[in-house]
Amino acid sequence: MSNQSQPASANSMVEMVMDSTSGLQKFKLREPKGSSAEIFLYGGQVTSWKNERGEELLFMSSKAAFKPPNPIRGGIAICYPQFSNMGSLDKHGFARNRVWSIDPNPSLPPSKDNTVVNLLLKPTNEDMKIWPHSFELRLRVTLEAGKLQLTPRVRNTDSKPFTFTLAVHTYLSVSDISDVRVEGLETLDYFDNLLDQKRFTEQGDSLTFDSEVDRVYLSTPASLALIDHEKKRTFVIRKSGFPDAVVWNPWDKKSKAMVDFGDDEYMRMVSIEAAAVEKPITLKPGEEWTGYQELEVVSSSYFSGQMDPVNLKVKS
Ligand code: TA6
């Protein structure tokens, strides 16, 4: 076993265990202040992120099937080599329903507190039949007090260029969907997946929810904020390498149509995803692309007014 299953320092821990319910292997991470995360090798999927009080910050459906080949409904999934139905592959690609391995050669500088997991996905011969490109998809997950960072990287190990789209499909837990708002999307253009992917411009001061939302916002800022009034909690979503941001809530009708999602669960989640969708990424042989998504949870009272999501300062 790699050193990823050893205690990382006196008070932090990274260990690999078998999930008792599904029988699948997962990593458990804990950092010195007491927050924790879980990552399954199946899908390279983050399934839990808890604060130091043990409160879950990600949404996981009570009906999620932890049964290959079904994707896991909730947490954070990597959609690769395509987001949505844009090519001939299954929706959101196949990375989310493959078993990843521990990356023996992460080749990134070590994280300062070592509460890190490095995963790797390479295509099998079967994968090459449906998407004939050789690649290495790496995912580093780092846990710090109040923060969860994901660094996906794609390397072209083929002899010809290839093109992909990728999204970090993140289900955030909220107290009540009717009582949250997203800041940072004002005046931006978006493709509306509910209206044949037509292009619109966001008109509101912030995005609130009173019906189904399924949008790809374009050229988004490096930081967005999801403000949960009831919980007095703000998620700050920071990203780089991802020009777009997907925002999704299925609302009541679609919730009922999804077998692995509870009828009322839409009230307690919103999906905000760092994404590279509008302009697919092309890599020549030997080239590597790196993306980054950081989630930070802060008390909303910290931002006692309207936040400037780009600079994360309170507007005067
Ligand atoms: O990220 C939004 C989205 O692409 C929506 O269109 C919605 O259907 C969602 O993903 C879930 O997709 P899934 O394939 O996991 O059911």
Q: Which domains occur in the chain, in start order?
A: 13-311 (2.70.98.10)
Kindly give the distance from the C-alpha atom of residue 92 to the centroid of ligand 1, in angstroms, as a whole number.
Answer: 8
pLDDT tens digits, one per residue of 59-95: 999 999 999 999 999 999 999 999 988 667 889 999 9
- What atom in ligand 1 is closest to the CA of residue 258? 16
What average pLDDT does range 145-167 have in this prediction?
97
User: What percentage of the chain exceeds 90 in pLDDT?
Assistant: 84
In the prediction, which pLDDT does 184 show?
A: 97
Q: Does the active-site annotation cover 92?
A: no
Residue 224 · residue 209 · CB < 8 Å? no
Q: Using CA atoms in the order 13, 18, 21, 22, what is the torsion angle rounded to 10 degrees?
A: 120
- pLDDT at 5 > cutoff 60: no
More reliable by pLDDT, 11 or 58: 58
Whether 246 is in the pocket of ligand 1, judged by its Cβ within 6 Å, is yes
The structure tokens listed for 15 are 């260990």
Nearest to 264 by CA among 252, 250, 282, 276: 252
pLDDT tens digits, one per residue of 115-142: 999 999 999 999 999 999 999 999 999 9
- What atom in ligand 1 is closest to the CA of residue 83? 4
What average pLDDT does range 270-292 have in this prediction?
98
Whether 244 is in the pocket of ligand 1, judged by its Cβ within 6 Å, is no
Q: Does the active-site annotation cover 55?
A: no
Kindly give the distance from the C-alpha atom of residue 301 to the centroid of ligand 1, in angstroms, as a whole number.
Answer: 32
**CA–CA–CA angle 159, 127, 61 (5° rounding):** 130
Whether 44 is in the pocket of ligand 1, judged by its Cβ within 6 Å, is no
Whether 71 is in the pocket of ligand 1, judged by its Cβ within 6 Å, is yes
pLDDT grade for 6, boundaries at 50, 70 and 90: very low
More reliable by pLDDT, 110 or 1: 110
- What atom in ligand 1 is closest to the CA of residue 246? 1
Nearest to 5 by CA among 35, 27, 32: 27
**Phi, psi torsion values for 28, nearest 5 degrees:** -115, 130
Kindly give the distance from the C-alpha atom of residue 50 to the centroid of ligand 1, in angstroms, as a whole number.
Answer: 24
- What atom in ligand 1 is closest to the CA of residue 250? 7
pTM for the predicted model, two decimal places: 0.92
Q: Indicate which residue of 31, 144, 265, 273 is catalytic.
A: 273
Kindly give the distance from the C-alpha atom of residue 124 to the centroid of ligand 1, in angstroms, as a whole number.
Answer: 25
In the prediction, which pLDDT does 88 show?
A: 74
DSSP-derived secondary structure letter, 108: S
pLDDT tens digits, one per residue of 213-229: 999 999 999 999 999 99
In the prediction, which pLDDT does 87 show?
A: 67
What average pLDDT does range 229-246 have in this prediction?
97
Whether 223 is in the pocket of ligand 1, judged by its Cβ within 6 Å, is no
Nearest to 291 by CA among 185, 158, 137: 137
DSSP-derived secondary structure letter, 310: T
- pLDDT at 187 > cutoff 50: yes
Nearest to 240 by CA among 224, 254, 229, 259: 224
- H/E element, 277: strand 269-283
Of 24-28, 82-86, 153-157, 278-282, the poorest mean pLDDT is in: 82-86
